[in-house]
Amino acid sequence: MENKRFILYLFGGTFVILFFVGLLSGFVFRGGQKGPEEAIAVIEVKGTIVGGESGSSLLGGMAVGSETMMQEIRAAAEDDSIKALLLHINSPGGSSAASEAVYMEILRFKEKTGKPVLATMEDVAASGGYYIALGADEIFANPATVTGSIGVIMQFTNYQELYEKYGLKVETIKSGKYKDIGSPTRDLTKEERELLQTMVNQIYGNFVDAVAEGRGLERERILELAQGQIYTGIQAQELGLIDQLGNFWDSVDYLAKRAGIKGEPELVYYTRPTLWKRIMGNLSKMILAALGKSVKISEISDLLWIEESLQTPGLNNLVIRY
C-alpha cells in the first residue's frame, strides 16, 4: 500500500513540476515569430514520416507530419526575413506519399523564392528521409550518418493461423474481388500480389527519378545503388549521394555564406511542441523508465500494433513506405 502511494505521489509531483517547466519554456520558445532581417529557416524532419501533423505517442515514438512540414516551408516562403532554408533530418523514413508531398513542397519553395536550400543529416536520413533531402540544392551528412535505403516496401500482417488457433472466424461480404486486399485473415492471391507489386514498382520509379534529378546520376547507376542498401556518410559522399561531410553547425555556416548573410545567422523555427505535448512527452519517458525493469518497450509497442491491425482489416492493414 505504501509503495502504491509513493508511486502516485511520485507521478503526481512529477506532473506538476513538468507543467510549470513547460509553462516557463513556452515563454522561451516563441515559434512562428519572425526573426531579424536576415535569417535561416530550419525545418525539423525528426522521427517517422507520416501524413498529417507532427506529434509523439505515449510510448515515446516521434512522428513528423507532412502537413506540419509543408506549413513551415510555406511560412518560410512568405517570410521576407528568411534568406535560406535548412532541412534538419534525423529520420528512418516512413510514408511514401508524405515524403513525396514534402519533397514537392521544397521544389515549390525554390521555384517561388530562388533562395538556397540545404539538407543536413544527423544519425539517420534513410529512405523517405533521404527522399526529402533530394529536394535540397546540396546535402551535408556526418561521416557516421546512416543514409540510403533507396527503395519501397509494402507489408501486411497475416493472422490467419492465430485466428484459427483461438476459433475466430471472419465473415467478409464485398462488392469486388479486390475489396479486402491485404486482409489479415487470409493469404494474398496471385492477382493481388501482382497488383501490389505494380504499385510498388511505380512508386519505386518515382524515387529513382528523384535521385536522378537531384544527384545528376545515370539511371543505370542509381538502380545499382537503390536496392535498399544503407550507406555511411563517407560512403554516400564517395557514391555521389551527398555533397559534403559536416555537422549541423557546419551546414549553418556554409548556408549562411551561400545566402550572403554576414555574421552569425539567426535560426528561425516556425513550430515548437505545445505545452501539453512537452508535458506528455516527458511524462511518457518517466512511465516507461519506471516500467522498464519488468516490461520491454518493444513488447508494449508490438501488442498495441497487433491490436490495431486486428481492428483494421483490408487496405488499412497495408503499409506503403520508403
- For the CA atoms of 182, 184, 185, 186, the dihedral, rounded to the nearest 10 degrees, stands at 50
Q: What is the CATH number of the domain that holds 195?
A: 3.40.1750
Q: Contact 198/154 with Cβ under 8 angstroms? A: no
What is the model's pTM? 0.77
Tell me, yes or no, whether 202 and 80 share the same domain.
no
To the query of whether residue 179 is one of the catalytic residues in this protein, the response is yes
Question: Rounded to an integer, what distance in angstroms lies between the CA atom of residue 15 and that of residue 84?
Answer: 39
Q: Contact 185/159 with Cβ under 8 angstroms? A: yes
- Asked if residue 4 is part of any domain, the answer here is no
Tell me, yes or no, whether 218 and 233 share the same domain.
no
Query: To which H or E segment does residue 89 belong?
Result: strand 82-91
- Scanning the structure block, which residue is given the C-alpha cell 519554456? 25
Question: Rounded to an integer, what distance in angstroms lies between the CA atom of residue 199 and that of residue 172?
Answer: 25
> In terms of C-beta density within 10 A (0-12 exposed, 13-18 middle, 19 or more buried), how is residue 305 classed?
exposed
- Asked if residue 247 is part of any domain, the answer here is yes
Query: Of the residues 127, 149, 183, 251, which is catalytic?
Result: 127
The SS3 assignment for 214 reads: helix
Radius of gyration for the chain, computed over Cα atoms and rounded to the nearest angstrom: 23
- Asked if residue 137 is part of any domain, the answer here is yes
The residues, ordered by sequence, that sit 6+ positions from 155 with a Cβ below 8 Å of its Cβ are: 318, 319
Query: Of the residues 112, 174, 177, 179, which is catalytic?
Result: 179
> In terms of C-beta density within 10 A (0-12 exposed, 13-18 middle, 19 or more buried), how is residue 232 classed?
middle
Residue 36 lies in domain:
31-149+229-273
Look at residues 104, 101, 134, 97 and name the one whose alpha carbon lies nearest to residue 119: 134
Residue 287 has what pLDDT?
Answer: 54
Give ∠ CA 299-302-303 in degrees, rounded to 5. 85
Task: Indicate the number of domains in the chain.
Answer: 2
- Scanning the structure block, which residue is given the C-alpha cell 505535448? 277
Look at residues 166, 49, 22, 179 and name the one whose alpha carbon lies nearest to residue 103: 49
- Asked if residue 302 is part of any domain, the answer here is yes
The residues, ordered by sequence, that sit 6+ positions from 20 with a Cβ below 8 Å of its Cβ are: none
Question: Rounded to an integer, what distance in angstroms lies between the CA atom of residue 98 and that of residue 322?
Answer: 10
Tell me, yes or no, whether 58 and 117 share the same domain.
yes
Question: Rounded to an integer, what distance in angstroms lies between the CA atom of residue 188 and that of residue 194?
Answer: 10
Tell me, yes or no, whether 80 and 186 share the same domain.
no
Query: In terms of DSSP H, where are the helices of 52-149?
Result: 66-78, 96-113, 128-133
Tell me, yes or no, whether 315 and 176 share the same domain.
yes
The DSSP symbol for 107 reads H
Q: Which segments of the chain have a pLDDT < 70?
A: 1-36, 56-61, 272-320
Q: What is the CATH number of the domain that holds 104?
A: 3.90.226.10
Tell me, yes or no, whether 185 and 120 share the same domain.
no
For 72-110, write each residue's pLDDT tens digit: 999 999 999 999 999 999 999 999 999 999 999 999 999
* Terminal Cα-to-Cα distance of the chain (whole angstroms): 49
- Asked if residue 321 is part of any domain, the answer here is yes
